[in-house]
Chains A and B, each alone.
Chain A
Amino acid sequence: MAEQTVNKDIAKEENLVFKKTSVLTDKVMHYCPGCGHGTAHRLIAEVIEEMNIQSECIGITPVGCSVLMYNYLDVDMQEAAHGRAPALATAVKRLMPEKFVFTYQGDGDLAAIGTAETIHAANRGENITIFFINNGIYGMTGGQMAPTTLPNMKSSTSPYGRDVKMMGNPLKMTELVAQLPGTYYVTRQAVHTPKDVRKAKKAIRKAFENQKLERGLSLVEIVSNCNSGWKMTPLQANEWMVENMFPFYPMGDLKVDGEMVK
């Protein structure tokens, strides 16, 4: 067993400032080391714990890397067909309007096969929360090009970079959804530094609290890394994300309380 350099005088229950939330299960996540999914899961779990809504929360899991999310969050969860999470969330929320319903989707799920469901759920103003994890590729299946892949970005199906003339332009789903009158809160966050994690947590909390107001859909995009798919180390992937993803997908709120920002 490995040794730890813990200061036993300080490591006492009364000095505890941070520990893993009980809404996360003890299972080890299957995500690659350094993947943003783990941090996003933890933030959602922490917000559920802080709001004390564990028994009133229903999550809809997508198809993609986070397909096994129901193993890691100790709340009621339902698996949806690929891309259909907003449609399923609509049904759940309409049948049980007092519950907090959220979907957790990647870019291959939300922005590709699920475009219709996402846009129509947003346009109908369903009173649900969507968490959209954008890493620019299909991570689970081996790093293929997704609708969100940046121009000239290399992926396993665009090995010379995405040629916009041939393969089309990247899709900014969050900007698209923010235009619709049915959305109440649309924001884009990241989880790679402590500062961004704190901001993202506030956004997630606001997105959950908006469900009580019944004013429309809340969408939180989290720009994340995919170090395996991008063929980088976790630190390199985060640097690459800051240099390349952030100029195209700028951080910040797009729509707050039903009003466009700027």
Chain B
Amino acid sequence: MAKVKGTIVVDIERCKGCGLCPPACPTNVISLAKEVNAKGFHYAYMANPDECTGCVNCALVCPDAVITVYRKKN
């Protein structure tokens, strides 16, 4: 078990589904949803939430600042 656990909250309606965050994620947590938001973009979501370490990489590359990151030490 990872000592540090994290989670992200995506502002779905502002996400443009550019796909920059999945490759930035070192633990392959994020992917783009099959569903779309009101604008028709495949928004980012945590497909694999248990692996998230809250490293902030996804939020750093996000051009639209839609990702909020939380981190907790166990």
Contact = CB atoms under 8 A, between A and B. Distances in A.
Interface in A73-123: none
A191 B45 CA distance: 22
Interface string B35-74: 1010001010111010010101101111111111111100
A21 B14 CA distance: 15
* B interface, size bucket: 35 or more
Interface residues of A, number: 40
Contacts of B9: 4, 6, 11
A15 B16 contact: no
Contacts, number: 115
A31 B65 CA distance: 13
**From DSSP, what is the main secondary structure of chain A's interface residues?**
loop
Interface of A: 1-2, 4-7, 9-12, 15-21, 24, 28-29, 31-39, 42, 191-194, 197-198, 233-235, 238
Interface of B: 5-10, 12, 14, 16-20, 23-24, 33, 35, 37, 41, 43, 45-47, 49, 52, 54, 56-57, 59-72
20 contacts: A1-B12, A2-B43, A4-B45, A5-B47, A6-B7, A6-B8, A6-B46, A7-B5, A7-B7, A16-B70, A17-B54, A18-B56, A18-B67, A24-B65, A28-B64, A29-B64, A35-B18, A191-B61, A233-B19, A234-B19
